[in-house]
Amino acid sequence: MLLPKMLDYLRSPVNSSWVNFEGHKDGSAMDLGFFIGEPTNQLIHASADAKVFEVSYDSAAGNLIVLGSQYSNTHDLWLANAHMESLPTLKAGETVKLGQQLGRMGNTGQSHGPHDHFRVSIVPKGTPFTWSNFDKYRVDPYNYVYAYADQYVRGMRVKPAVPFVVAGGSELPIVVEVGNFSPDRVINVRDNPSTKNGNVVATYEPGESVAYEGYVKNEGYIWLTYVSSATGERRYMVSSPNVQGEPDWGTFS
């Protein structure tokens, strides 16, 4: 089973220390370099290992490139960089590696200054690439993009040493572990590993099985985590109390 990209984090597409960024108020995109205006030749890099979907010019987005990558077993990740100085030399169908140079920041299309207009979408696996689908499944890049250890992007969060989830105001480390769990009782599924702050979004019944990708310890419980095949959102469910000697609430395989 492949681990979801959420546990890896997307790399900032720009490296330069002069770059600042702002997020769009509707959470639709991230503008890197928007405040600067000069110079136009800052490099743009791939934020993940991916395949090139499209390289084209758009009257609004200017020169752009769209990449596709796997997010989880059920969802894919689409990444778009727009307003580039020139069209990338890459072709649709080619693959790129994390950190590979894609081109340079520019001011093409409807732009108010040199910047990288960066968009992210998480789509159900098998969804055909169209711009309407890109917009339909668009997410806020700020929740996924980090500056890596060899980067500094002014104001951007630095990639954590270990994956984590925020619960009750605290950053809880996610221990990466892959397996299957079958509960022996009805267990609530929540959108956060907390009985206080997590909303119940589903349940698992005895005899059902869930493929999990890691676990978190919080509020005296061990919470298994996985990505919902129905929504693409990360979910959490208790597998046992976090007390030595206490039995699991089901079986592992």
Give the chain's mean pLDDT: 85
Q: Residue 153's pLDDT is what?
A: 73
Strand partners, 75: 124
Averaged over 18-32, what is the pLDDT? Answer: 70
* Angstrom distance (rounded) from CA 93 to CA 205: 43
Domain 5-146 coded CATH 2.70.70.10: yes
Q: Are 181 and 209 in contact (CB under 8 A)?
A: yes
Q: Residue 187's pLDDT is what?
A: 98
Q: Residue 3 — very low, low, confident or very high, per pLDDT cuts 50/70/90? A: very low
Q: Are 168 and 239 in contact (CB under 8 A)?
A: no
Q: Residue 161's pLDDT is what?
A: 65
Q: Residue 143's pLDDT is what?
A: 76
CATH topology of domain 164-252: SH3 type barrels. (2.30.30)
Query: Does the pLDDT value for residue 207 go beyond 60?
Result: yes
* Angstrom distance (rounded) from CA 9 to CA 84: 23
Burial class (CB in 10 A: 0-12, 13-18, 19+), 245: exposed
Q: Which of 91-105, 127-141, 149-163, 202-216 has the lowest mean pLDDT?
A: 149-163
Q: Where are the domains of the chain?
A: 5-146, 164-252
Query: Does the pLDDT value for residue 51 go beyond 50?
Result: yes
